[in-house]
Amino acid sequence: MPITINPFDAEIISDEELALWKTVPSAVACDAMNRTNGMIADIQSLVPDTILAGQALTVHAPNGTNAPLHHAVKCALPGCILVIDAKNLRDKAVWGSVVNAYALTCGVRGLIFDGCVRDTALLKQSDMPIFCRGSAPNGPTKEEVGGVNIPITCGGVTVHPGDIIIGDDDGIAVIPFKTRQPVLEKCQARMAEKEDWKKKTQDGVSTAELWKLTPPKS
């Protein structure tokens, strides 16, 4: 079955909206979505203190192939984030330094893999934010299967082309495109609430009091 390559037909958010999403921590975004839509803990940044925000260009790369990734980079819109379902493959890497350098020239803003990468030392020195399960020395195949710009599951979360992706030291949060505005409003309210909580604790209020926990029996 050949690779399915769909056009990226999602609406592109404005630079102003993207700037707002860059201020939102992934944990706050998950809280705003009833503590859901956070990818599993195994998917972490190669480099600490990495902050990532943008829209998803989705890739399905099964069987240890990275052929669909090469097609995805070629048709990537500047500023997109490649989100790759590599089926949690642990014995092969589907990304390395050569395609990473090409992706940077195409304007890819970041990468998220439910799988592994290699050439890790070089990737850490590049300007590409990368979140993945780890590294493996075995290379990929070039089997012509998979797809680009199709719904996928990455890190236990469903991702559609155009969804908002947030990454930081806590991990990755996925905000469905259609619900992004109410979620953003909840995120902003949550961040203000957390600042208020911190102020109250500095004034002597305990966290148990803040959350109205039932006092333990003596």
pLDDT in the model for residue 218 = 73
User: What are phi and psi for residue 103, nearest 5 degrees?
Assistant: -60, -35
pLDDT in the model for residue 217 = 84
Query: pLDDT digit of tens for each residue in the chain (218 aa)?
Result: 689 999 999 999 999 999 999 999 999 999 999 999 999 999 999 999 999 999 999 999 999 999 999 999 999 999 999 999 999 888 999 999 999 999 999 999 999 999 999 999 999 999 999 999 999 999 999 999 999 999 999 999 999 999 999 999 999 999 999 999 999 999 999 999 999 899 999 999 999 989 889 888 87
Q: Delimit the domains of the chain by residue range.
A: 4-179
Please report where in the chains the tokens 């619900």 appear, as a residue. 179
pLDDT in the model for residue 89 = 85
Q: Is 210 left (phi over 0), alpha (psi -120 to 50) or beta?
A: alpha
- Among 72, 79, 66, smallest CA distance to 110 is for 79
Dist CA 93 CA 83 (whole Å): 15
pLDDT in the model for residue 1 = 63
pLDDT in the model for residue 90 = 87
pLDDT in the model for residue 215 = 84
Q: Which CATH number fits domain 4-179: 3.40.190.10, 3.50.30.40, 2.60.40.420, 3.10.180.10?
A: 3.50.30.40
Amino acid identity, residue 116?
C
Q: Is 46 left (phi over 0), alpha (psi -120 to 50) or beta?
A: alpha
